[in-house]
């Protein structure tokens, strides 16, 4: 009977969804260490709005306005983010789960880089 064979070892995966490979997770961890400003999200309207607010905030601060938009869920999970959109400044998650206004993004960027 199959009900009594619960002692079988199941293969462990590297994340909660079970579809990530160790190679994908190591690539995600490697990308996490790089500096700069990143928006984490699927590319939806909210993610794009956060990217635009961050771009405007960086322009007002006179900083480089290049922003990476990370859409790979393995890379997003490497940051520990469970709700998007998220804003990452120099490898540190400063906001997640909401769309920031330009002034809010500006304050968070200054706090990390100031």
CA dist 87 and 13 (Å) reads 27
Cβ atoms of 98 and 41 within 8 Å: the answer is no
In the set 16, 17, 20, 44, the catalytic residue is 44
Cβ atoms of 36 and 66 within 8 Å: the answer is yes
Closest residue by Cα to residue 100 from 71, 90, 32, 89: 89
Structure tokens at 44: 């939806």
20 is catalytic: no
44 is catalytic: yes
In the set 15, 16, 17, 47, the catalytic residue is 47
Residues forming the active site: 44, 47
């Amino acid at each position: 009977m199959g009900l009594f064979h619960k002692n079988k070892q199941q293969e462990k995966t590297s994340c909660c969804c079970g579809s990530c490979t160790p190679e994908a997770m190591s690539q995600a961890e490697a990308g996490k260490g790089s500096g700069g400003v990143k928006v984490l999200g699927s590319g939806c309207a909210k993610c794009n709005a956060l990217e635009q607010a961050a771009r405007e905030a960086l322009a007002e601060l006179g900083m480089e306005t290049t922003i990476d938009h990370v859409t790979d869920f393995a890379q997003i999970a490497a940051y520990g983010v469970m709700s998007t959109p998220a804003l990452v400044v120099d490898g540190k998650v400063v906001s997640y789960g909401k769309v920031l206004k330009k002034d809010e993004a500006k304050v968070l960027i200054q706090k990390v880089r100031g």
